[in-house]
Amino acid sequence: MPDDLTNLTTPQLDEQHFASIDRERLRPTIVRTHPPRILILYGSLRVRSFSRLSAEEAGRILTRLGAEVLFFHPSGLPLVDDGVDASHPKVRELRDLVAWSEGMVWSSPERHGAMTGLMKTQIDWIPLSEGAVRPTQGKTLAVMQVSGGSQSFNAVNQMRLLGRWMRMLTIPNQSSVAKAFLEFDEAGRMKPSAYYDRIVDVMEELMKFTLLTRDSADYLVDRYSERRESAAQLSARVNQSGL
């Protein structure tokens, strides 16, 4: 395979929809001034749910950093394909919160080496597209997990994969709390520890990435292949016969 790139002809490209990077669009002139809107999901309904308690600590930190934070409480959320549709009140609530948000935190226990079914159900109810809107595309995401035993990264790795699939800007840092039952006091507050410090790190990073990208998100996720596809679909509609 030659490493000579002097021949820069690219006949495969559709020049009408191929464009150089517009640096000005990466530096938007209109900058949002409202607090970053962060939605937090957690993956357990136990009364003393360590994924929820960790999520609450994350919410406190985010609020201190200047975010507006809302939680989705998944009690009553039906299973996907269990005879209900998106008109169900809990599904509508979840989707409305996702549409409102500019970033998210997903916090799940690790159960049988994976995220919980409840966590996956919440994610499954979030559509990749809803009409002309893609609810998750371009939004930031931080992933967290708690474990009953030694430290593991199975759940965060799964959630990170899902975030990529849903075209979210999943930040590099993440939190994994081992032996979570030892990390919280009787009032449900997390004790000072390296695990707590990591959650602070992750929330700082989430805020920075959200502020850095939210005004440019539409351009960051603008894709050549989709521009071509949209143009082809438009042409097909315009040129339909028999209208």
Please report the pLDDT score of residue 86 as a whole number. 87
* Residue pair 66/1 in contact by the 8 Å Cβ criterion: no
Q: Which residue has the higher pLDDT, 4 or 186?
A: 186
Provide the 3-class DSSP secondary structure of residue 124: helix
Q: Which residue has the higher pLDDT, 119 or 233?
A: 119
Q: Which secondary structure element, helix H or strand E, spans residue 182, and what is its range?
A: none
Residue at 229: amino acid letter: E
Provide the 3-class DSSP secondary structure of residue 142: strand
Q: Which residue has the higher pLDDT, 131 or 80?
A: 80
Whether the pLDDT of residue 99 is over 50: the answer is yes
Please report the pLDDT score of residue 136 as a whole number. 93
Q: What band does 221 get if pLDDT is binned at 50, 70 and 90? A: confident
Please report the pLDDT score of residue 134 as a whole number. 84
- Mean pLDDT to the nearest integer, 182-198: 96
Q: Which residue has the higher pLDDT, 61 or 6?
A: 61
- Mean pLDDT to the nearest integer, 139-155: 94
Provide the 3-class DSSP secondary structure of residue 237: helix
Q: Give Cα 46 to chain centroid, integer Å.
A: 24
Return d(Cα 121, Cα 81) in angstroms, integer.
10
In the chain, what is the straight-line distance between the N-terminal and C-terminal CA atoms, in Å?
51
Provide the 3-class DSSP secondary structure of residue 42: strand
> Which of 150, 146, 98 shows the shortest CA–CA distance to 125?
98
Q: What pTM value is reported for the model?
A: 0.88
Q: What band does 241 get if pLDDT is binned at 50, 70 and 90? A: very low
Please report the pLDDT score of residue 238 as a whole number. 46
* Average model confidence (pLDDT) across the chain: 90
Q: Which residue has the higher pLDDT, 30 or 105?
A: 105
Alpha helices for the chain (secondary structure H): 50-64, 89-100, 117-124, 154-165, 194-213, 217-220, 224-238
Please report the pLDDT score of residue 164 as a whole number. 92
Please report the pLDDT score of residue 128 as a whole number. 85
Please report the pLDDT score of residue 9 as a whole number. 84
Please report the pLDDT score of residue 55 as a whole number. 97
Is 134 exposed, middle or buried, given 0-12, 13-18 or 19+ CB atoms closer than 10 A?
middle
Please report the pLDDT score of residue 2 as a whole number. 56
Residue indicated by tokens 């966590």 = 119
Please report the pLDDT score of residue 235 as a whole number. 56
Q: Which residues does residue 137 pair with via DSSP β-bridges, in sequence order?
A: none
Report the range out of 126-130, 170-174, 232-236 with the highest average pLDDT.
170-174
